């Protein structure tokens, strides 16, 4: 091995020191370049090409610089500092080939040093502020919450909040979030509400019938009612035959052909009739404590059938019940008890309310022609007691004359302390029996604020125009002939004129339906029946006179006839035509 002279060894050592210093200088130049890229503003748009070229050069610096916008630079795996030492830990092994190293001017070095000192001073201030808490005002805790306000815990139905807000929260919900931070979208608690879900009611056909169903239309909603009782559509129906075997009612589930020809009907037919009428808006159901009295032993009297339907059938409207008391003699003869005094009247009302399944009857009617000891004061006092107890809402009479009706209404008002008055008066009226109109009874009802209710508006069928001289059986091949030929011949001018008015009304309603068809298509609604019959002409004639007709119904055909009267009426001219013909017959 060759030995070197001391002077050669000294020279070699100096070369090694120069090489080490050169490496340190190189690292410093790199650090200055990185700092310059960090603090220098981005180049203007015209120099975007130069920026892109610099970004494409291999480097450990990943830049997000965009042309003309401020940029931030992130560095991976290395920390660059303008005060880096010359240790080899901060060097890339072998360096990056192709890097262009330029010397840094003194002005740039001063700028870099000044920015570094400012940053260090800012960091020192922040660290001092974080270690030294601000003074706490009296009554406040260390995090700014009023110490006098109790904090809610989970057990108290809320979550403790550090911002001072006092928000109530369900303890069950709070427990789901207790001890958790952030939001885990894959483990969210199930949202529960206390609002019950609405369940639609299903009818026997499987369809939906609920509260959302379209309600009935009251075509007489703007009618000037005589008193507080409003009768929708100014129509009602009588249940005199419901449950009465002598009037066609038959038990069981099926009718034979001969029973159908004889006009028999089942409970099922009455149920369908009731539901259809209520849904159409014909809600006034008239009954009596003695309707189908013999069927009370099997709970099928008229009142009990109505109660059964009202409770079991879901309809668009609630019924208005009007029951009727019978006189003492008839009550004793039929076996329903001896009636003396006002308490017997209250007891009779309680019995009807119980059979109807209601706590209060909308209207209770008493007959005018009955022998009652102490009448009328005793009867009036019994009715007042029932009104005071809420057993009835209104008082009606049957077949009262103008004078009797006025006296009865006055006594009811006087003995009741001025709070009660007569609600209705029921009597017969039709195209073939216009006595109530000619005598002024209808006008007297209007003047006293009494609703005129008309029983037998079809005149037992004679005013319906169904039985005529040309068709005495009403279209039935083997049907009975209820009226003699002489009677039919007498009324033939009226029957012919009813046919003329029928055709006149048909044409008028067809034109009205066509004119309203576009509006119905746009806004909805039902078309008005234009296929009118002479029976409907007779019923609407009674309505045109200001009365409420209550024809008896027992089957679907009679129900359809009554519903077909809704939505239209006779004009003054049409009413006058019928009146003139009836006057010629001297009715």
Domain ranges of the chain: 23-92+104-120
Model pLDDT, residue 178:
56
Three-state SS for 143-172 is CCCECCCCCCCHHHCECCCCCCCCCECCHH
Cis peptide before 367 (omega within 30 of 0): no
Instruction: Map 22-60 to HEC letters.
Output: HHHHHHHHHHHHHHHHHHCCCCCHHHHHHHHHHHHCCCC
Which residues, at least 6 apart from 442, have a Cβ–Cβ distance to it below 8 Å?
A: 429, 436, 452, 545, 546, 547
List, as one string, the DSSP characters of 280-334. Answer: HT--EEE--TTTTGGGGGGT-SHHHHHHHHHHH---SS--EEEEEPPPHHHHHHT
End-to-end CA distance of the chain: 161
Residue 419 has which token pair? Answer: 């709070």
Measured CA to CA, the distance from residue 164 to residue 162 in angstroms comes to 6
Structure token digits, residue 145 = 């919450």
DSSP-derived secondary structure for 516-560: HHHHHHHH---PPP-S--HHHHHHHHHHHTT-EE--B--SHHHHH
pTM above 0.85, yes or no: no
Residue 498, both tokens: 């009813």
CA dihedral 498, 504, 508, 514 (to 10 degrees): 100
pLDDT of residue 91: 43
**What distance in Å separates the CA atoms of residue 135 and residue 422, rounded to the nearest whole number?**
84
Q: Is the dihedral of CA 257, 261, 263, 269 positive or negative?
A: positive
The pLDDT value given to residue 536: 97
Computed on alpha carbons and rounded to an integer, the radius of gyration of the chain in Å comes to 50
Nearest 5°: the CA angle 177, 180, 186 is 80
Positive/negative CA dihedral, 94, 96, 98, 102: negative
Per-residue pLDDT of the chain (587 residues; tens, 9 = 90+): 455 555 566 666 656 555 555 554 555 555 545 444 444 444 444 444 444 544 454 444 444 444 444 444 333 333 333 344 444 444 444 444 444 444 545 655 666 666 677 667 767 766 665 555 555 445 444 444 444 444 444 444 443 444 444 445 555 555 555 555 554 545 554 544 443 443 444 444 443 333 334 578 899 999 999 999 999 999 999 999 999 999 999 988 888 888 888 889 999 999 999 999 999 999 999 999 999 999 999 999 999 999 999 999 889 899 999 999 998 888 888 888 888 899 999 999 999 999 999 999 999 999 988 888 877 889 999 999 999 999 999 999 999 999 999 999 999 999 988 889 999 999 999 999 999 999 999 999 999 999 999 999 999 999 998 899 988 988 776 667 889 999 999 999 999 999 999 999 999 999 988 887 766 666 556 778 889 999 999 999 999 999 999 999 999 999 999 999 999 999 999 999 999 999 999 75
Q: What is the pLDDT of residue 372?
A: 83
Q: Residue 56: is it exposed, middle or buried by C-beta count within 10 angstroms (0-12/13-18/19+)? A: exposed
Count of Cβ atoms closer than 10 Å to residue 218 Cβ: 17
pLDDT at 517: 74
Residue whose C-alpha is closest to residue 259's, from 562, 554, 558, 559: 554
Pairing of strands 73-75, 61-63: antiparallel
Instruction: Tokens 């419901």: give the residue.
Output: 242
Secondary structure tally for the chain: helices H, strands E? 18, 10
DSSP assignment of 420-473 equals ----EEEEE-BTTB-HHHHTTHHHHHHHHT-EEEEE-TTGGGGGGTSS-SS-TT
Nearest Cα to Cα of residue 463 among 437, 488, 438: 488
Backbone φ and ψ for 74, nearest 5 degrees, come out as -115, 140
d(C-alpha 145, C-alpha 164), whole Å: 5
Residue whose entry in the numeric block shows the structure tokens 């004359």: 401
Residue carrying structure tokens 């012919």: 496
């Amino acid at each position: 091995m060759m030995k070197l002279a001391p002077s050669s060894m000294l020279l070699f050592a100096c070369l090694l020191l120069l090489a080490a210093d050169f490496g340190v200088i190189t690292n410093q130049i790199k650090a200055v370049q990185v700092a310059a890229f960090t603090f220098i503003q981005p180049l203007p748009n015209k120099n975007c090409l130069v920026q892109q070229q610099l970004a494409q050069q291999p480097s450990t610096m990943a830049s997000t610089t965009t042309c003309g916008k401020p940029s931030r630079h992130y560095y991976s795996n290395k920390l660059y500092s303008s005060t880096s030492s010359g240790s080899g830990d901060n060097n890339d092994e072998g360096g990056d080939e192709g890097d262009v190293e330029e010397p840094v001017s003194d002005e740039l070095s001063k700028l870099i040093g000044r920015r570094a000192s400012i940053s260090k001073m800012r960091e020192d201030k922040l660290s001092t502020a974080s270690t030294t808490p601000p003074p706490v005002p009296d009554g406040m805790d260390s995090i700014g919450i009023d110490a006098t306000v109790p904090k809610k815990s989970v057990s108290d139905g809320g979550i403790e909040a550090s911002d001072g807000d006092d928000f109530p929260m369900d303890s069950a919900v709070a427990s789901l979030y207790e001890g958790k931070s952030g939001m885990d979208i894959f483990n969210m608690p199930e949202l529960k509400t206390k609002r019950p879900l609405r369940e639609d009611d299903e009818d026997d056909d499987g369809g939906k019938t609920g509260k959302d169903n379209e309600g009935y239309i009251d075509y007489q909603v703007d009618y000037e009612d005589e008193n507080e009782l409003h009768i929708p559509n100014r129509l009602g129906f009588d249940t005199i035959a419901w449950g009465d075997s002598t009037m066609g009612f038959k038990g069981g589930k099926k009718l034979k052909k001969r029973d159908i020809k004889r006009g028999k009907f089942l409970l099922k037919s009455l149920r369908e009739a009731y539901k259809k009428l209520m849904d159409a808006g014909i809600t006034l159901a008239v009954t009596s404590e003695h309707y189908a009295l013999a069927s009370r032993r099997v709970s099928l009297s008229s009142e009990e059938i109505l109660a059964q339907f009202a409770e079991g059938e879901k309809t668009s409207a609630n019924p208005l019940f009007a029951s009727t008391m019978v006189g003492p003699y008839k009550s004793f003869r039929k076996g329903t008890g001896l009636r003396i005094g006002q308490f017997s009247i209250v007891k009779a009302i309680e019995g009807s309310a119980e059979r109807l399944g209601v706590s209060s009857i909308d209207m209770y009617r008493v007959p005018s022609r009955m022998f009652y000891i102490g009448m009328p004061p005793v009867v009036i006092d019994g009715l007042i007691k029932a009104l005071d107890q809420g057993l009835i809402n209104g008082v009606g009479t049957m077949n009262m004359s103008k004078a009797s009706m006025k006296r009865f209404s006055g006594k009811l008002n006087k003995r009741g302390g001025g709070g009660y008055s007569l609600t209705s008066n029921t009597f017969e009226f039709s195209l073939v029996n216009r006595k109530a109109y000619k005598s002024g009874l209808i006008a007297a009802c209007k003047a006293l604020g009494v609703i005129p209710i008309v029983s037998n508006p079809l005149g037992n069928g004679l005013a319906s125009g169904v039985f005529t001289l040309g068709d005495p059986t009403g279209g039935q091949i083997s049907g009975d002939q209820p009226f003699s030929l002489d009677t039919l011949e007498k009324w033939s001018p009226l029957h012919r004129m009813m046919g003329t008015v029928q055709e006149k009304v048909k044409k008028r309603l067809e034109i009205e339906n066509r004119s309203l068809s576009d509006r119905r298509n746009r806004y909805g609604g039902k078309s008005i029946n234009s296929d009118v019959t002479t029976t409907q002409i007779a019923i609407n004639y009674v309505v045109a006179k200001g009365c409420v007709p209550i024809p008896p119904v027992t089957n679907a055909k009679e129900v359809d006839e009554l519903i077909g009267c809704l939505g239209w009426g006779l004009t003054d001219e049409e009413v006058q035509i019928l009146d003139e013909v009836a006057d010629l017959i001297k009715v």
